[in-house]
Structure 1
Amino acid sequence: MPASPLNRREFVKKSAVTGAAVAAGSAVAAGPAEAAEHHPAPKPPKAPKTWSFSILGTTDLHSHVFNWDYYKDAAYSDTKGNTVGVAKVATLIKQQRAAKGEDHVLLVDAGDIIQGTSLGYYFARVDPITGTNGKKGPKHPMAVAMNLMRYDAAALGNHEFNYGIDTLRKFESQCDFPLLGANALDAKTLRPAFQPYTVKHIRVPGAPDIKVGIMGLTNPGIALWDKDNVNGKMVFPGLVEQAKKYVPRLRALGCDVVFLTDHSGLDGSSSWGDALPYVENASNLVAEQVPGIDAILVGHTHVEVSSYTVKNEETGEDVLLSEPYCWGYRLSVFDFEMELEHGRWKVVSKTAQTLNPAAVDEDAEIKKHLEADHELVVKYVNTAVGTCTEDLSAAEACWKDVPVMDFIHEVQMESVKAGLSTADAALPLISVAAPFSRTADIPAGNVTIKDIAGLYIYDNTLYGKKLTGAQLRDYLEYAAKYYHQVPAGTAVDTATLTNANSFWDYMYDTAAGVDYEIDIAAAEGSRIKNLTYNGAAIADDQVFVVAVNNYRANGGSGYPHIAAAETAFSTPDQIRDMMIAYVIAKGALDPADFAAANWKLTQAGTPVFG
């Protein structure tokens, strides 16, 4: 005889389980043994009127399997005591299943799975899952881990497209769960290129199944950020538009609960200006404008939002949202209390919270299956490619022109220069690049792959775009909004100087090849002073070739002019690989070959840092 379901108080209490040991087995007790044959048959169980279940959620795992920092070659650590990796999250998930019952728990992800660490790069480019020279490739460690964890579904993230559609399709084929993308459409047919949704059944003994519709939505920005990989192949309409199409379909299929997994933040913002007609971070708008949604797992913005409620403007019903940070820092837990009414289940209450896996051990099963892959990557990133004559740190790169950034500029300009036509080679060449990591450091002595990968953490490719002098000034003015205004005569505190306007480090480009000052005492839009090339003021109609990464060249972060600018050069080769090749070719990395202090911060003409 099946046991009675957990009551709501017991069930929600189980969600608070984190690092404490949990008894093995199901939380639903087994019924008593059958009596002897001469006893009458037991009465059939009374159909339950209430039932509880949970949906667990991760997002932006970015190929973190273990609690390891490949750039530092050490266990991950930060000032907040966070840990990373699905191996730890898997332990929390097992605890949740043990506490609540295996059949009471679903597991979902909100995207950005296969890119982000040296492990992700290794299995996309070094020993690719797509195979090489006709040989079958390995299984992606993230597919292995997530299959072991028994995911029910995952949304596509924008970084799923970084390595091209073939790599993504191979990863998809290795997963035991669907990759969902209701707004990832075939460019020619405008039909879904990936499964839009899946329907899961929660079994309830003696009562109808609870049908849970799970729909995935990805980010429209893929059309910009990975234009080279998707242009002419796929299109990405807005989240609200596609949710309005598919949520009613899920309800028509008899779903008692509709759950969305969105690779899209919840503040309604966009980083691309008017480059696309859709909103980047639209989960709150989906909740507000599309009736029939119960809850949304949110991703993309790398923040922790334990529980957030949005009222649907049509029905007045509350939609529950949660975002579990990134990298496996947290696990979202959505708890649903259901009630059977006239033969149909309805949601009578729902709550959300995030759990921290820092105190639990890594899952032994994932360690058993993936430690060998991990060791392969550790060996790879510790491969020496050359030497460096002095320590090159990025610690001050966000407010000073430092040599380690000039290393990136030098590689970009040399690579673009080698591929220009004769006519374009006669134009002045400059470079723009962002300080991706303040903790990056290339040490004096041996330089390894991890040192360069720690400086250039993204899988960007390289473009050469043409901008006029006037457009270049606009571009640099746009970058300068990164700084908070600090009046002349006021002390500058670097702890509060940057990231104005939610303009993050990866969005802030500095330039090499031109000289300029950024007056942080001036108002936004009039901060660029003394912009010169080879000592002469830049004319508005002067034409430059600008070495720039593909993310920015295609409109990422909303910089003016660059996306529409004429292309003088492009390559599918990654900038990180070019940097590695540069060090190998030189043998020794010497800032004397490339360092040039060509920009500085000022306050009304007075240098901020001497």
Structure 2
Amino acid sequence: MEIVFLSSSDIHGYILPTDYQNFGTEDASFGLSRVGSVIKSERAKYGTNNVVVADTGDCLQGSPLAAYVHTADETALKQYTDLYNAIGYDVRCLGNHDFNFGLTYLRQYINYNHSTLLNANILAKKTAQPAFGQGYCIITKNGIKIGIIGVTTKRVPAWEPAENVTGLKFLSAFDQVRYYTQIIRAEVDILAVIYHGGFEADIHTGQATEPKTGENEGYRILKEIPEIDVFLTGHQHQKMSLEAFDTAIVQPGYRGEAVGKVVVEIDEDTKKIQSTTASLIDTKDYCPDKEIISLCSGLNKQTENWLDQPIAYLNAPAKIDNAQKARLQGAPFVNLLQQMQLYYTQADISATAVMSETAKGFEQKVTMRDIFLNYPYANQLCRVKLTGKELRQIIEHSLSFLIKNDQGKIEFAPKYQNLLFNFDTFYPINYQAEIDRPIGQRLTKLELDGQEIADGQIYRLAVNNYRAMGGGFYPVYNLDKIEEIYDKDYVQMFQEFLTQIKPKVDLVKNYSFK
């Protein structure tokens, strides 16, 4: 007998096969509607009573459609949630970005969900019980008892403003999985974990791949909790499928580009597992599900109209010709974003990243669509207090992303290719670096207003809250260094900055790498 687990993760509100770059274009190779077709096909192949369907979070934020729903009334949120309900998930857990719009919004979304929400490690402080949903469930498929534990990265409070996590306590995913495993393992034939989190070390070698912050605990879970049969993960936007530590593991990427699949072969008489096989199903090979397309039609039309509202007119285009080139050589749009951060914070220096691989910057006419395509995250702006020495450490960390290839050309190290939203550039300081030098010693010039940055001097840095609270594994940043968090999100700030301040587009390039 075969029991099949299918998993989606990090859909980020991409329902239709579109990235909203252009009005009405719906031929992208991803989206929940394609996920829906995969799941219908697999259910038809194996039988509904042999298939478990799970989602591992980050559903509420990320796409222009999700952003529009947040600005609309509660009816829109119910319609939006019904798009996920159409999949017929058995279980799901929360992602860190599901907290971006606050607890009231999150709870409304949870109430509209039809599937079982599993949450073993986000507790209500008052009761020490799961603040949402339940810690685990046991379901039966074709006579096979399946235990499923749901957990979320414990780092959410490090990235969210305090009001978005008020009254909540985030425990270690590892600790809670181990705790519930001891409770339910003896009662079930298959034990699965759904986790909005990934891996802090290479699964094969155990070598650490990131600092030990607790953001990702997947490797430790695998290594130290051998009772787990199926491990469905997310958060890192990686595409992976493998078997290790006698566990089948999948992570299906981002925006519904793939569906994770684990087939568990089980003896019908003894109910013992004979084998497990992990794989990914690319959704690009499946037509979008007509039911989801129909359900999304109204919201999509409203979103498209909302996106094309003109916001402002610039004195000149602020373009990004190529995201990789912009990171290495600068771009007018990046400078404009830095100027905006400096305006609101009155800081000395600003730091930001090119947030999207498809970012193209602004034409002279700027619309809502332009803002979301270039800055798709629901971040808040912070002002951080640093010494010159600490600023240098932060910039050196960003420079560690870079290598020289065999031809001597500067490029990004392969391990950072899916994490380039963590590569920051800095403005208006003048800085230069030599990439041949050892990591941590690459800066050769670091000046502000013609004066060298002094190690002992205090500077104010404008940066988004994700980075200021530790996102991207940068050194130095922590809550104690944040002087102020600004209430407006980036969409609001762009609207005000472009219409009220009417900034001049800056073409100045203030850094170079060699």
Letter matched to residue 127 of structure 1: A
> Could you tell me how far apart the structure 2 residues matched to 1:482 and 1:226 are?
25
TM-superposition CA deviations, 1:320-358 (whole Å, max 9, x none): 1112222111112222232244xx622223222222222
TM-superposition CA deviations, 1:477-505 (whole Å, max 9, x none): 1111121157xxx85435xx124663732
Aligned to 1:385: 311
Query: 2:318 touches 2:362 (CA, 8 Å); kept in 1?
Result: yes
The reply on whether 1:582 has 2:497 as its aligned counterpart is: yes
The reply on whether 1:268 has 2:198 as its aligned counterpart is: no
The reply on whether 1:571 has 2:495 as its aligned counterpart is: no
> Could you tell me how far apart the structure 2 residues matched to 1:144 and 1:271 are?
38
TM-superposition CA deviations, 1:84-140 (whole Å, max 9, x none): 11112211211222222222222111111111101111122x1154xxxxxxx4334
> Which protein is bigger by CA-based radius of gyration?
1
The reply on whether 1:319 has 2:241 as its aligned counterpart is: no
Q: Which of 438, 447, 455 lines up with 1:532 in the alignment?
A: 447
Letter matched to residue 547 of structure 1: A
Query: 1:71 touches 1:454 (CA, 8 Å); kept in 2?
Result: yes
Measured after TM superposition, the shift of residue 385 of structure 1 is 0.8
Aligned to 2:205: none
Aligned to 1:299: 234
> Could you tell me how far apart the structure 1 residues matched to 2:389 and 2:220 are?
37
The reply on whether 1:200 has 2:128 as its aligned counterpart is: no
Alignment of 1:55-204 (within 5 A): 55-73=5-23, 75=25, 83-124=29-70, 126-129=71-74, 137-194=75-132, 195-203=134-142
Which moved further from structure 2: 439-448 or 509-518?
A: 439-448
Q: Which of 352, 358, 364 lines up with 2:290 in the alignment?
A: 364
Q: Which of 403, 409, 426 lines up with 1:511 in the alignment?
A: 426
Measured after TM superposition, the shift of residue 408 of structure 1 is 0.7
> Could you tell me how far apart the structure 2 residues matched to 1:144 and 1:555 are?
34
Measured after TM superposition, the shift of residue 272 of structure 1 is 6.9
Report the TM-score when normalising by structure 2: 0.92
TM-superposition CA deviations, 1:58-105 (whole Å, max 9, x none): 11111111001123445366xxxx611111221121122222222222
Which moved further from structure 2: 97-106 or 467-476?
A: 97-106
Query: 1:110 touches 1:156 (CA, 8 Å); kept in 2?
Result: yes
Describe the shift of the 1:537–1:57 C-alpha distance in structure 2 as closer, same or farther (beyond 3 A).
Answer: same
Measured after TM superposition, the shift of residue 411 of structure 1 is 0.8
Query: 1:433 touches 1:510 (CA, 8 Å); kept in 2?
Result: yes
Query: 1:272 touches 1:557 (CA, 8 Å); kept in 2?
Result: no
Aligned to 1:597: 509
Query: 1:187 touches 1:232 (CA, 8 Å); kept in 2?
Result: no
Q: Aligned with 1:459: secondary structure?
A: coil
Aligned to 1:522: 437
Aligned to 1:282: 217
> Could you tell me how far apart the structure 1 residues matched to 2:164 and 2:291 are?
36
Which moved further from structure 2: 402-411 or 99-108?
A: 99-108
Query: 2:430 touches 2:511 (CA, 8 Å); kept in 1?
Result: yes
> Could you tell me how far apart the structure 1 residues matched to 2:155 and 2:458 are?
29
Letter matched to residue 173 of structure 1: N
TM-superposition CA deviations, 1:25-45 (whole Å, max 9, x none): xxxxxxxxxxxxxxxxxxxxx
Q: Aligned with 2:154: secondary structure?
A: coil
Aligned to 2:151: 217
Q: Aligned with 1:291: secondary structure?
A: coil
Q: Aligned with 1:337: secondary structure?
A: strand
> Could you tell me how far apart the structure 2 residues matched to 1:401 and 1:335 are?
47
Measured after TM superposition, the shift of residue 271 of structure 1 is 8.0
> Could you tell me how far apart the structure 1 residues matched to 2:163 and 2:119 are?
17
Letter matched to residue 5 of structure 2: I
Aligned to 1:355: 281
Measured after TM superposition, the shift of residue 530 of structure 1 is 2.3
Letter matched to residue 197 of structure 1: Y
Query: 1:412 touches 1:431 (CA, 8 Å); kept in 2?
Result: yes
Aligned to 1:39: none
TM-superposition CA deviations, 1:546-595 (whole Å, max 9, x none): 111000111111222221543332123112320122122246x631xx44
Q: Which of 530, 535, 549 lines up with 2:464 in the alignment?
A: 549
Question: Structure 1 vs Structure 2: percent identity of aligned residues?
Answer: 26
Q: Give the superposed CA RMSD.
A: 2.3
Query: 1:123 touches 1:140 (CA, 8 Å); kept in 2?
Result: no
Aligned to 1:479: 398
Aligned to 2:4: 54
Letter matched to residue 388 of structure 2: G
Q: Aligned with 1:328: secondary structure?
A: coil
Measured after TM superposition, the shift of residue 190 of structure 1 is 3.4
Describe the shift of the 1:178–1:574 C-alpha distance in structure 2 as closer, same or farther (beyond 3 A).
Answer: same
Report the TM-score when normalising by structure 1: 0.78
Query: 2:229 touches 2:248 (CA, 8 Å); kept in 1?
Result: yes
Q: Aligned with 2:284: secondary structure?
A: helix
Give aligned pairs, total.
504
> Could you tell me how far apart the structure 2 residues matched to 1:335 and 1:272 are?
30
